[in-house]
Structure 1
């Protein structure tokens, strides 16, 4: 199959360093001409490369070589900024929305709230080297953080909780699934609608085991690698 051969050639060029991270590929027309193939066949090859996390597409801008994904360890308590800095990456956070509202179905389910409960919703986009890689929605129980919306919410919620409210995460429950980027999330991440996404759902508990907030992270799937070390207890 020609599209598999094309994919393998591009992978070899990436692995050999001939194509650098974040480098823009030539247009689909030029690539098709260089491989003496049709654009339909070329797109099949590009789709395979995207699925493998080798390249990513930005809406109206074209295809780019994917950088190394950030290593995401659920057992670590590092916030996004510190996690990125520890891996020699350049992080940035952009606040999209922060407001008090009545809990929607998703917030009520994740936080165990009764109907018509108050909640804070905080939406942010996180960047690595100026590339938007994850859209995060946090739902926060306001009784724990009465004036939270007055703070600079482009900063770490973990740090704000600890420094201003003496509240720290003690237990985190994770759920990891796959999905697609659609609508405003796709637009914020400069993705085309339907781009694959990895979804990391976090439900967070404080030192007393009380549920305080949750977060839903929609990652571009090529930008994240879930990696952890588990110490097993041997049954005797």
Structure 2
């Protein structure tokens, strides 16, 4: 990269950011191909790609494999104090949710899941993998690990529906205490593939260990979010 390249990266980023802030590039809009953008800004594709990557790190644009670059929509507010499920949370903020079931099966629990759910070594669990969209955009890959002792016959149900509602309707189980763990991460292969991004793309992993009203650890969710999709908030009272 030549001596002027860093200044070119800053200038390209500033130009695109200005277009976004003035509403000329609207959320969800597809940017021109990198070749066309590099010709527009009279620079190399390497310099252009560096500018786009910096905007991606700021959450202003995002990339999908084999589809190109897009303007990022507003972030969803993820309130740790709220007990609503994904569909309710998205709908409450005027957005459109969708869930796609990827797989559901019983298997031997990984060691970390045994620990989080207080299970014996090599205990069996249900694992449900799903991809979730907001306004048509893939934003979340989640693996749900459930203790089958509390959910007999679960795999026969429609598992694209909110599990919170299924638990209450079919099993009389409601959530009680929830423990959260948030960790910036590189998206693992399963999550990257489901979200149609490159392996190792930045993401946010939210681990939820869910108890029922009797204090039993009933399931554990591993949520892998696109890093630009949510804003996490919480309120602490004295």
- The whole-number CA distance in structure 2 between the counterparts of 1:206 and 1:143 is 13
- How big is the shift at 1:228? 2.3
- The whole-number CA distance in structure 2 between the counterparts of 1:109 and 1:130 is 35
Contact 2:174 2:213 in 1 (8 A): yes
Task: Could you tell me which runs of 5 or more consecutive residues in structure 2 were left unpaired when the two chains were aligned.
Answer: 1-6
Residue number in structure 2 paired with 1:128: 134
Residue number in structure 2 paired with 1:171: 177
Contact 2:186 2:200 in 1 (8 A): yes
- The whole-number CA distance in structure 1 between the counterparts of 2:200 and 2:218 is 32
- How big is the shift at 1:132? 1.1
Q: How do residues 1-236 of structure 1 correspond to structure 2 at under 5 angstroms?
A: 1-231=7-237, 233=238
- How big is the shift at 1:111? 1.2
Task: Could you tell me which runs of 5 or more consecutive residues in structure 1 were left unpaired when the two chains were aligned.
Answer: none
- The whole-number CA distance in structure 2 between the counterparts of 1:79 and 1:69 is 17
* Runs of 4+ deviating beyond 3 Å: none
- How big is the shift at 1:182? 3.5
- The whole-number CA distance in structure 1 between the counterparts of 2:19 and 2:235 is 32
- The whole-number CA distance in structure 1 between the counterparts of 2:190 and 2:144 is 16
- How big is the shift at 1:189? 0.7
- The whole-number CA distance in structure 2 between the counterparts of 1:16 and 1:228 is 30
- How big is the shift at 1:40? 1.3
- How big is the shift at 1:112? 2.0
- How big is the shift at 1:2? 1.9
Q: Secondary structure at the match of 1:71?
A: strand
The aligned length equals: 232
- The whole-number CA distance in structure 2 between the counterparts of 1:96 and 1:59 is 19
- How big is the shift at 1:106? 2.8
- The whole-number CA distance in structure 1 between the counterparts of 2:133 and 2:62 is 15
Contact 2:111 2:122 in 1 (8 A): no
- The whole-number CA distance in structure 2 between the counterparts of 1:175 and 1:116 is 24
Q: Secondary structure at the match of 2:149?
A: coil
RMSD after superposition: 1.1
- The whole-number CA distance in structure 2 between the counterparts of 1:161 and 1:125 is 20
